[in-house]
Amino acid sequence: MTHIPLPSWAKVAFAVAFTSMLLASCGGSSSSTVTTAGTTTTDTTTGTTTTTTTAISTRSWKDVAYATTSNSQKMDIYLPATGTGTFPTVIWIHGGAFKFGDKANPQSLTALNNAGYAVVSVNYRLSTEAQWSAQLDDMKSIVTYLRTNAATYHLNPDKIGAWGASAGGHLASIMGIALANDPATRIQAAVNWFGPIDFYNMDADMLATNVTRCTGANGAADSPESALIGATVSENKSKADAASPLTYLAALPTTTPLPPFYMFHGLLDCNIAPAQSERLHNAIQAKFGNAKSNYMPIANGTHGAGDFKQTYVETAVIDFLNLHLKQ
């Protein structure tokens, strides 16, 4: 098991906000604050000091359309309060059993912005609207849109990471793997918080723990995973496997520039057993080397609660992102 050291990270001070403006962009609304950053130069002959300021007039955009197939294909973009970019970017992918959830209130927004990251919180087509692999298509469209429009939003197109929880953890994982062979869609880091990885074996993995499950069987006809693939998981292994990051991983050549991963899973999770994250972590290390995946079991963590609320978990994520998106 590989761990990332947890050095403390400094918070960036907020700049003074001046005038409010409105800017329409890509069909989305925006929140505007004029903020300036200065570059100071001194003429060594005359001793004259000149400060040149560069302004970013808009620091956030809401409901930006990254595709046009569905009204669900929207994102919110939040820049740090200071700095002129270009900013390394973290895509936040919400959970919700693939059938509910929203991009509002992204995880660790303030901490990520204070650490110098642009945060892109995304919606995607839920299982009530479209079955797999529409969600993977949405992840691809998100990265493509951000790279194509990086200059508009002051983003660094070469430093994009994905972080998701539960269903979002599954999508962050599959995004890191399935899109790795294409430079246009490849991301540079992936963080999986307790996502389902191997649908067909979820029930067996939960039975092998000492934790009393708090949901119905994942292989049942009415499970979230069955709704996603459009078939009963326990009766359709091939369709279940077609939505697994493990399947996409197995298909990759060993020369693929896979991004680094960090898995987090609560040992008291009563929805998804830790073996799910462990299986992907072990498979990545076996194929691409130990440096490509890290795993942190959260001893008193449940499904996003318990010790997941402790600062050290958030700090570990940001330290990992710093290592791969800022160097």
Residue 304 located in a structural domain? yes
Residue 185 located in a structural domain? yes
Mean pLDDT, all residues of the chain: 89
Residue 56 located in a structural domain? yes
Is 168 within 8 Å of 94 (Cβ atoms)? yes
Q: What number is the average pLDDT over the span 31-35?
A: 43
* pLDDT score for 3: 47
CATH code, domain carrying 147: 3.40.50.1820
Task: List the structure tokens of 105.
Answer: 């209130």
**Can you tell me the distance from the alpha carbon of 184 to that of 231, in angstroms, rounded to the nearest whole number?**
32
Structure confidence at residue 46 as a pLDDT band (50, 70, 90): low
**Can you tell me the distance from the alpha carbon of 152 to that of 89, in angstroms, rounded to the nearest whole number?**
14
Q: Using CB atoms within 10 A of its CB, is residue 19 exposed (0-12), middle (13-18) or buried (19+)? A: exposed
Residue 11 located in a structural domain? no
Residue 10 located in a structural domain? no
137, pLDDT greater than 70:
yes
Sheet strand arrangement including 155-165? 29-42, 49-65, 74-78, 118-122, 87-93, 155-165, 189-193, 261-266, 293-298
Residue 154 located in a structural domain? yes
- For the four alpha carbons of 134, 123, 321 and 314, in that order, the dihedral sign comes to negative
pTM confidence score: 0.85
Question: Which SS3 state, helix, strand or coil, does residue 68 take?
Answer: coil
- Listing DSSP states for 85-153 in one string gives -PEEEEEEE--STTTS--SSS-TTHHHHHHTT-EEEEE----TTT--TTHHHHHHHHHHHHHHHTHHHH
Q: What are the helix and strand counts (H, E) for the chain?
A: 10, 9
- In whole angstroms, how large is the CA radius of gyration of the chain? 21
Q: What number is the average pLDDT over the span 255-269?
A: 99
**Best CA proximity match to 286, nearest among 235, 309, 320, 252:** 252
Question: Which SS3 state, helix, strand or coil, does residue 33 take?
Answer: strand
Comparing 46-50, 61-65, 96-100, 175-179, the range with the smallest average pLDDT is 46-50
Residue 210 located in a structural domain? yes
Q: What number is the average pLDDT over the span 179-203?
A: 98
Domain containing 222 equals: 29-325
What are the tens digits of pLDDT across the range 270-290? 999 999 999 999 999 999 999
Residue 13 located in a structural domain? no
The residue among 214 and 7 whose pLDDT is bigger is 214
Longest dimension (CA), the chain: 81
Number of domains within the chain: 1
